[in-house]
Chain A
Amino acid sequence: GAGVSQSPSNKVTEKGKDVELRCDPISGHTALYWYRQSLGQGLEFLIYFQGNSAPDKSGLPSDRFSAERTGGSVSTLTIQRTQQEDSAVYLCASSSGAKTLTGELFFGEGSRLTVL
């Protein structure tokens, strides 16, 4: 597809289980971001991949969260031993990187995670 694709769109899991969220960025985009939006909150930065550089993981809330980006394209966000406070919409965005004129991010529709 032409846009950023995320899966699953909805995920309900039990506390303590691990979850994986997937992001397919726009083809050719070198920058990929993960954000999350909890109920009533803004967009919280989680992690940022730019080309072959080491990812900026400064926003990951705990060591239960990790992300990887394989081959500079698809990214997976993994949450281990999920807690109820992990419930949120997880948004992925990509951009064409440093040389864009606008620095515009293109967002997916998000993966809504509910931890029971």
Chain B
Amino acid sequence: DQQVKQNSPSLSVQEGRISILNCDYTNSMFDYFLWYKKYPAEGPTFLISISSIKDKNEDGRFTVFLNKSAKHLSLHIVPSQPGDSAVYFCAASANRDDKIIFGKGTRLHILP
């Protein structure tokens, strides 16, 4: 039972354009959401997070949007850069004490 779903296994975006990565969740108890980035042969690294009391969080080129009614969140990267090519994982937890559940990831390719 996938509680966190990333339905696009891959995405290709032209350098300089906006990358939008989507994530859906099924557990209405989730109240904390995170995005991680993973390069090959490395562990995932934290990118950005959002609490359910907010609908937007921005950090430089990265913005996460949360739509609680739709149980949907998205990560926007603008402008996209070659170094952004990686696998992006969406993750969620029911509270900050609880386990963190990850989606299957979306592989982002930034095209020159």
User: Nearest Cβ distance between residue B88 and chain A, in whole angstroms?
Assistant: 11
Which residues of A pack against B, CB within 8 Å? 4, 33, 35, 41-45, 48, 50, 56, 58-59, 91, 93, 97-100, 102-110
Q: Does B49 contact A (CB under 8 A)?
A: yes
**B46, B96, B102: the one within 8 Å of A35 (CB):** B102
Answer whether A109 and B105 are a contact pair too, CB < 8 Å, given A98-B97, A103-B49: no
Main secondary structure on A side of the interface with B? loop
Answer whether A104 and B49 are a contact pair too, CB < 8 Å, given A33-B100, A42-B6, A45-B101: yes
B102 touches A104 (CB 8 A): no
**A48, A98, A107: the one within 8 Å of B99 (CB):** A48
Which residues of B pack against A, CB within 8 Å? 6, 32, 34, 36, 41-46, 49, 89, 91, 93, 96-105
Chain B residues lying within 8 Å of A106, measured Cβ to Cβ, are 46
Answer whether A103 and B100 are a contact pair too, CB < 8 Å, given A42-B6, A42-B89, A109-B42: yes
**B32, B44, B45: the one within 8 Å of A43 (CB):** B44
A108 touches B100 (CB 8 A): no
A96 to B45, CA, bound (A): 15
User: Nearest Cβ distance between residue B22 and chain A, in whole angstroms?
Assistant: 14
A103 touches B34 (CB 8 A): yes
Chain B residues lying within 8 Å of A33, measured Cβ to Cβ, are 99-100
User: Nearest Cβ distance between residue A42 and chain B, in whole angstroms?
Assistant: 3
**A43, A50, A102: the one within 8 Å of B49 (CB):** A102
Chain A residues lying within 8 Å of B34, measured Cβ to Cβ, are 102-105
A91 touches B43 (CB 8 A): yes
**CB nearest to A35 among chain B residues:** B102
